Structure 1
């Protein structure tokens, strides 16, 4: 669920000064002229098999190509029919879906129950390697009842099941998927979505064309904009220049200081999101032979980091220091927890009492976070005697080391699929799976009970216990919640949403 680009090295002030000479008259924005939305990401989108993607970039593109059985209207919070025209719970562990007729895939194939059965029964297998187990491990099997009706048999009660079916589990054409698998879908993405991919240089450039046969009644509707071109442009200053000159219509994740300087030239929108930054501690790393295994060391590290100063310098806007391993906007994110104020002198005392008065060295991998933020954390820890060796990795590589228990600290961010429920974060990091580097059996039990309960009161009670213990034991150093700045062509109508999914199918021109 992560990704955040690095800042450009060049001065935005210098860039704007150099560009000013071309702004004596308004820029001619080309996107509207040829009905093509030109967008850019700083980070490369991953191959477009939704089940293997971690970063928002690839998932945004994928959601324009693919559809799920259901769809969540973020403006109302309502779950509505998509490829399924209706559904019902037929038992504690069964759901049945009546499928929509007349739906076409981009290759002309008809959508039927075979597509649902083939897709979901494939991605739930361990061999397939779905990136996040929480998204599919609640599915035991999927049965075809007739050509337009399927039953999902659940392996366990899961409070987030309907949320996951709302566009997070896309349906692939069964014949193409059976023949090519994940690699085939990434090479030639075929969906039923509002746009079809007509050209791609993987990781570099993607060209989409409005799918004129997108089914009637789709909650995504018929897009107003005909074409979309998305490019990877790692250097943010290049993005700013192209946005101001009219070569780009949409960019995002603009740092606060640079957003304020762009406001006089383009339309800048700022919006809160569900994503949070965190430093995860791994008491079990290297077989437990690490200072991080000591809870007082972890507590001291949190006291040592001036998180408010980091928020002020790098996040701004609506971002706030967090004390919990979740977003306060999420259901079940208990706020009455132990807190750790910035107090470097207390941190030194705690380290000395724990036997580390002379300090120690640790490696911290950071992924999908700007280097200056990681450097700020390391600098604060250095002041209390902790020498942090920073190791920047791509997210997938970083997670590999994290899961292999090869390092004691990991700095990244998590978006919970943009969903306001702790079921999409606590389970992933504290529920006993591959990303649980704590393996606290008591916390796991509380999280599992919360994830499987049908009554909100039971869920809240158990999540509260889990969050409180995670804070008490300082298993995480929660950092802050994110907001996102978007830079837009003034002619583009675009509505941001807290799940960080750009819904270009809802966009239009002024």
Structure 2
């Protein structure tokens, strides 16, 4: 008999799992105070300004610090390398820096490090991966050794989000001399762990930095060493986790998570990414049924989002009522909720002139077909025939922007950032993806996106979110979640930004 590659892989995976169970749990991580971690994808070189994937950024956030730190439990921005900050002018932020902080190479942290870092990474030739991270910075001034000013090129409500770990500070002498290549070859930061060895993309060893400043937001790390390996084969990860050779893995598929949970700790936690169906009243010359508010509201009532979320979203997912993630600042939750009510949906369609239903195309991209089919099946029950058109994301967005389709089913991750500025304005602020073009919405969002006063921001986001929901411009579906596999000995708390904070982890 000839075995296919798939069959062989399954047999090998099963064998690996059987061997791990026979071996028993050694719990070597706790025994030698080493947190053993596996990623399926290779971490990118450890220059935060050029990393796109979570793997590299997680490592970087243990090695480097930013001026501020965001507490996701409270939404507050806490002091980190900066003890305090204030807006001295609408576009000028002044930071008082913390004294006594050391880099991993023994250098003292001063204003020179902030100025050199930002001067270099804002230069277009540096190649910072995401322009949105730095294009709001015009210049940085050193006032004295422990005071700097950031002059903004434009109002940007996400400035504090960026300064909270997304823009780490590098040692100025080393960075100026060696640039990005040097910082990836020898990552040097002020974070709670220092890198002691790396085989790029394969293996990384970090040790607790004993000179980490005690007032820092990441202070108090209890685990002495972290070893991170790239293990592409998930069955190998599962086997090593159950045998005690690994203590932490993530992004476990739901079916595998249910099999593992009797052997190890499995935690399902929500993340920033959300699924949604966007409606386009202006599409097809505004002659689609979607142009009517009552029709949009009826479609939401017709879809059993609770059942779809339970079937496809995972244990950590919840039905959403807003066009943003509840974990994001500004994502108002006191809004109209559209309960599943097919009878009401039928009546609303009849009142809108569609008693016999209608046919409508929905393009979907970056979403599983079974989820789109479930939406179509529910709409069919109220007389709406949904023509499903699966596209690559770029092609789907192209049709959306060309106003060629009335509905687009996809997802949005907000760059993993807990602020509504990174989702609402993209779809309702008057840009290319806005097929509503409501001037009042755009005004509210512009005010919220550019104000430095968080109360003003929250008030304007609240008005915008409530209007979007009342007009049923979107059908929010659910938030995505991630499954983590943990050693029974490990205490670990996941967060919705999907950045593992191992400095908070501890052994039981």
Category of TM-score, reference length = shorter chain: 0.7 to 0.9
Q: Is the contact made by 1:67 and 1:170 (CA closer than 8 Å) also made in structure 2?
A: yes
- What does residue 4 of structure 1 align with? none
Deviation at 1:276, TM superposition (A): 2.9
- Number of residue pairs aligned between Structure 1 and Structure 2: 493
- Whether 2:388 is the aligned partner of 1:388: answer yes
Aligned counterparts of 1:183 and 1:280: Cα–Cα separation in 2: 42
Please point out which of 319, 326, 329 is paired with 1:328.
Answer: 326
Aligned counterparts of 1:272 and 1:340: Cα–Cα separation in 2: 22
Change (3 A) 1:465 1:70: closer
Change (3 A) 1:43 1:59: same
Deviation at 1:376, TM superposition (A): 4.5
Deviation at 1:456, TM superposition (A): 5.6
Deviation at 1:150, TM superposition (A): 0.6
User: What is the correspondence of 1:32-47 to structure 2 with a 5 Å cutoff?
Assistant: 32-47=30-45
SS at match of 2:493: coil
Change (3 A) 1:241 1:435: farther
Please point out which of 493, 499, 506 is paired with 2:504.
Answer: 506
Change (3 A) 1:399 1:178: farther
Q: Is the contact made by 1:430 and 1:443 (CA closer than 8 Å) also made in structure 2?
A: yes
- What does residue 317 of structure 2 align with? 319
- Whether 2:200 is the aligned partner of 1:207: answer no
Aligned counterparts of 2:373 and 2:227: Cα–Cα separation in 1: 35
- What does residue 216 of structure 1 align with? 213
- What does residue 460 of structure 2 align with? 462
Change (3 A) 1:233 1:497: same
SS at match of 1:72: strand
User: What is the correspondence of 1:197-346 to structure 2 with a 5 Å cutoff?
Assistant: 197=195, 198-202=197-201, 205-210=202-207, 212=209, 214-217=211-214, 218-221=216-219, 223-233=221-231, 236-256=234-254, 258-280=256-278, 294=291, 302=300, 305-317=303-315, 319-332=317-330, 333-337=332-336, 339=338, 341=340, 343=342, 346=346
Bigger shift: 82-91 or 440-449? 82-91
SS at match of 1:466: helix
Change (3 A) 1:303 1:59: farther
- What does residue 414 of structure 1 align with? 413
Change (3 A) 1:85 1:283: same
Aligned counterparts of 1:111 and 1:256: Cα–Cα separation in 2: 45
Deviations 1:188-237 (A, max 9, x none): 644332334432444xx340322646533333226433433334445544
Deviation at 1:31, TM superposition (A): 2.7
Please point out which of 425, 444, 447 is paired with 1:446.
Answer: 444
Q: Is the contact made by 1:71 and 1:79 (CA closer than 8 Å) also made in structure 2?
A: yes
Change (3 A) 1:86 1:323: closer
Bigger shift: 378-387 or 478-487? 378-387
Please point out which of 157, 163, 166 is paired with 1:165.
Answer: 163
Q: Is the contact made by 1:277 and 1:414 (CA closer than 8 Å) also made in structure 2?
A: no
SS at match of 1:166: helix
- What does residue 481 of structure 1 align with? 479
Q: Is the contact made by 2:316 and 2:482 (CA closer than 8 Å) also made in structure 1?
A: no
- Whether 2:364 is the aligned partner of 1:364: answer yes
Q: Is the contact made by 1:381 and 1:387 (CA closer than 8 Å) also made in structure 2?
A: no
Change (3 A) 1:385 1:402: closer
Aligned counterparts of 1:117 and 1:146: Cα–Cα separation in 2: 11
SS at match of 1:495: coil
Structure 1: unaligned runs, 5 residues or longer: 1-7
Deviations 1:423-482 (A, max 9, x none): 443244434567656554432211121234455654344223321333355443311134
Aligned counterparts of 1:173 and 1:461: Cα–Cα separation in 2: 40
Aligned counterparts of 2:179 and 2:375: Cα–Cα separation in 1: 42
Q: Is the contact made by 1:255 and 1:314 (CA closer than 8 Å) also made in structure 2?
A: no
- What does residue 3 of structure 2 align with? none
Deviation at 1:407, TM superposition (A): 8.5
Aligned counterparts of 1:442 and 1:415: Cα–Cα separation in 2: 23
TM-score by length of 2: 0.77
Deviations 1:37-79 (A, max 9, x none): 2223345545544345454333222211221012234456554
Deviations 1:7-56 (A, max 9, x none): x99999x9789845753673113333444322233455455443454543
Q: Is the contact made by 2:272 and 2:479 (CA closer than 8 Å) also made in structure 1?
A: yes
SS at match of 1:276: strand
Aligned counterparts of 2:312 and 2:240: Cα–Cα separation in 1: 24
Aligned counterparts of 2:7 and 2:158: Cα–Cα separation in 1: 41
SS at match of 2:497: coil
Bigger shift: 222-231 or 237-246? 222-231
Aligned counterparts of 1:403 and 1:131: Cα–Cα separation in 2: 26
Change (3 A) 1:456 1:104: closer
Deviation at 1:144, TM superposition (A): 1.2
Bigger shift: 191-200 or 128-137? 128-137
Q: Is the contact made by 2:136 and 2:156 (CA closer than 8 Å) also made in structure 1?
A: yes
Deviation at 1:143, TM superposition (A): 0.9
SS at match of 2:262: coil
Deviation at 1:104, TM superposition (A): 4.2
SS at match of 1:463: helix
Change (3 A) 1:147 1:22: closer
Aligned counterparts of 2:175 and 2:398: Cα–Cα separation in 1: 30
Aligned counterparts of 2:360 and 2:9: Cα–Cα separation in 1: 36
Structure 2: unaligned runs, 5 residues or longer: 1-5
